[in-house]
Structures are given as structure tokens and as C-alpha cells.
Amino acid sequence: MIDSSIAKGMANSEIRFLLDYSFRLYQEYLDSNKTFIYASILRKVNGRLYERLNDSIVYLKDETFADALELMLHLDVWMTIWDSEYNEKKPRLRDTFTFDNNMNFPKSSVEKLLSDLASFSERVVRQSEETK
């Protein structure tokens, strides 16, 4: 059980980190006039986030499972369009890189997912303190 909690905690930490980093990169992308260099890094981070979510599905509560699926669906569509546009446009690092995407970012699902991850972390800290 402890090993499972540790694995879940590590997965949750990485998902939170990747979401935070993704948000930060997206802001840089917007601030840089949508420069490809930030879009490229964001693509890599979002790919890692997708993999981590997929690997961590077993650790999610039933209520959060649907929220993770919404985020994964968004990432799937976004990455598929991104890859297609990249192959078609062949942008250079300083070029502007944009594309249309009708699937909006699932903000409320991500907020619920982050809330679940935070509550798990708080429970682990409390349990750790109780065993001292």
C-alpha cells in the first residue's frame, strides 16, 4: 500500500508539474507573438503530459477519471493538428506558428483534476506526519 501511495504521489506530482509548465509555456508562446520555438517546446511537454495521464489513470478517483479523459481528448486533437501543421508548414524557430482548433481547452476538467491531485498530496502529508 505504501508503494502504491508513493507511486501515485510521484505520478500526481509530475502531472501537476507538467500542467504548470504547460501553462507557463503557453503564456510565453502568446507573449512572443506565437513563436514556433515555444510551440515546439509546448508540444513536447503536452506529449509528456498525455503519456503521464495515460500511465496514471489507475490512480485517479472515479470522479476525476472523466476529467482526465477530457484533457486527454483535447491533447490528442491538439497534438494531431499540431503535427499536421508542422509537417505542412515546416516552420523555423522564430517563425509564427498558429493553427485552428475547434476543441477548447477543458479548463473546468483541469481544475477538478488539479484539485484531486492537491487533495491526495495533502492526505499523504497528513498520513506521513501521523506516523512520525
pLDDT above 50 for 7: yes
Distance from C-alpha of 34 to C-alpha of 43, rounded to nearest angstrom:
13
Whether 53 contacts 68, CB under 8 Å: yes
C-alpha dist (Å) from residue 81 to 77, 107, 113 = 6, 20, 24
* Region 8-20 average pLDDT: 86
Residue 121 pLDDT greater than 80, yes or no: no
Tens digits of residue pLDDT in 90-105: 999 999 999 999 999 9
Whole-prediction pTM value? 0.84
Instruction: Judge whether residue 4 has pLDDT over 70.
Output: no
Q: How confident is the model at residue 84 (pLDDT cuts 50, 70, 90)?
A: very high
* 3-state DSSP assignment of residue 34: coil
With cut-offs at 50, 70 and 90, classify the pLDDT of residue 131. low
| CA–CA separation, 55 and 32 (whole Å) | 33
